[in-house]
Structure 1
């Protein structure tokens, strides 16, 4: 809540001095979530994560199917088994459940860690692109999230996306040589 009041105070002060600065200040807006969704770098990051984690995800799915088959066998044939066979199968099912749970947790933790790394890298690239456009075009202030309304005149989202696409293509050309 304190951050909200600080932001509101900052906007109030900015608006209070807007008449003085109106002729001089150049303000823009960037829809960062849209950029993070549409930028080719974001698509590449998602594809990299999918390729990196698809084998482990497949292994987990197979382990889940095997566990389910064991549970079904226990439910179906448990009454017909000897006490020793039933006990052995129950122990095996519990061990598989524990192993699967641990594997799932490790998978989720690793995936979240890598996703955060990719997201941080992407945010740096987006931030650099925004700053480059702001400096190139002489913007004094660029807003992103938290803006209620921004007219097309001050919305730089498409320009930032365009710059990111150019950088992506240039990087791909450089990597293919």
Structure 2
């Protein structure tokens, strides 16, 4: 047997040993998947955070809607009255409407920024709790890996409902 033949035989023997042991390793590997969007839609803490945000921002949102309606009414009234107004009165009213619109747009932008910031804070808290629960489930049920993002996942690996139940029952 030449040196090359011995090398190829050893390589084939080593490769076959690895291939024979792969099914045993694969059977010991336990994988799970979490659908984060579903978790953030259906879990108790996520729903509570959403309710908290709605109650916290509902008054400001109503004031903003009322302000927008008042601005529209003023604009409509100006459109009706414009033909009968003098040039100076028309220019004054246009300037007032532009100022009101700028103030409304600024308040609306501030509202959206404040809401987005609070939403991010609340979601971060929910995700932090969810990650602790996922880790607990993984350790308890001996998962090797839990994925949150995947192009495709076999539904038998989806443990989202299990995590939602654990999250809802946790204090």
Match of 2:34 in 1: 30
Match of 2:52 in 1: 48
Q: TM-score, normalised by structure 2?
A: 0.82
List structure 1 segments (4+ residues) > 3 angstroms apart after TM superposition: 16-20
Q: 1:155 aligns with which of 138, 158, 165?
A: 158
Q: C-alpha displacement at 1:46, in angstroms?
A: 0.7
Q: C-alpha displacement at 1:141, in angstroms?
A: 1.0
Q: 1:103 aligns with which of 87, 107, 113?
A: 107
Match of 1:136 in 2: 140
> How far, CA to CA, are the matches of 1:87 and 1:128 in structure 2?
61
Taking the TM superposition and a 5 Å limit, the aligned residue runs for 1:59-138 are 59-138=63-142
User: RMSD over aligned Cα, in angstroms?
Assistant: 1.8
Equivalences, count = 152
CA contact (8 A) 2:33 2:153 kept: no
Which runs of 5 or more residues in structure 1 are unaligned? 1-15, 172-177
Q: C-alpha displacement at 1:67, in angstroms?
A: 0.9
Match of 1:165 in 2: 168
> How far, CA to CA, are the matches of 1:145 and 1:126 in structure 2?
15
Which runs of 5 or more residues in structure 2 are unaligned? 1-18
Q: Rg: which structure is higher?
A: 2
